[in-house]
A = this chain, B = another copy of it.
Amino acid sequence: MKDKKPKNVFREGPISSDFIGNSIYKHQTKTSIGAHNIFLGQVRADEIDGKTVAAIDYTAYEDMANQKFHDIRESAFEKFELTCMHIYHSLGRVNAGEICLFVFVSSPRRKVVFEALEYIVEAIKADVPVFGKEIFEDETHKWKVNN
């Protein structure tokens, strides 16, 4: 299941629950899988200095980001006994309550998926050049920083 060339991880706009449900459905033919673990990042309507976040507008250094996603993928397949791994990240506007990150790992055994998923999500947060402009209801903005 290894890819040699970076795929495009980015999707324009939010990731729909239908897309996620369908992705789960497609794994039901893979009967060596015993455990799936899914992480979803959702845009929070945070209140900052009295103003509420209405959406995040995502941009990325796409070539480098897809290379980093690819490196994370390769490294996760090396470290963990995974059957499948899928990563999708939004670009453009994602409203509060909508999903901007979908990471999906599958393995014969459950212990593996917990470790692998956390490893992948932390690596995405730390290593991938994606930028988020938090847009407030009054259309002013603030740049988001991962902690």
Hey, which bits of chain A sit against chain B, CB under 8 A?
Answer: 17-18, 20-22, 24-25, 27-45, 96-99, 106, 108, 110, 113-114, 117-118, 121, 125
Question: When chains A and B are docked, how far (Å) is the Cα of A24 from the Cα of B18?
Answer: 9
Bound-complex Cα distance A18 to B20 (A): 9
Which residues in B have their C-beta under 8 angstroms from that of A30?
A: 97
Cβ contacts under 8 Å, A38 to chain B: 36-40
Closest Cβ–Cβ distance, residue A38 to chain B (whole Å): 4
Are A22 and B24 in touch, CB under 8 angstroms? no
Residues of chain B within 8 A (CB-CB) of A41 are 34-35, 110
**Beyond known contacts A37-B117, A114-B114, A114-B121: 16 more, CB 8 A cutoff:** A17-B24, A20-B20, A21-B21, A27-B42, A28-B99, A30-B97, A31-B43, A31-B44, A31-B45, A33-B44, A34-B42, A34-B44, A35-B40, A37-B38, A39-B113, A110-B121
Say yes or no: B24 contacts A20, CB within 8 Å: yes
Instruction: Kindly state the separation between the CA atoms of A27 and B114 in the bound complex, as whole angstroms.
Output: 22
Please tell me if the beta carbons of B97 and A31 are within 8 angstroms of each other in the complex: yes
Measured CB to CB, the closest approach of chain B to A72, in angstroms, equals: 16
Question: Do A24 and B40 have beta carbons less than 8 Å apart?
Answer: yes
Name A42's contact: one of B18, B35, B39, B121 (CB within 8 Å): B35
Residue of B22, B40, B96, B99 near A31 (CB, 8 A) is: B96
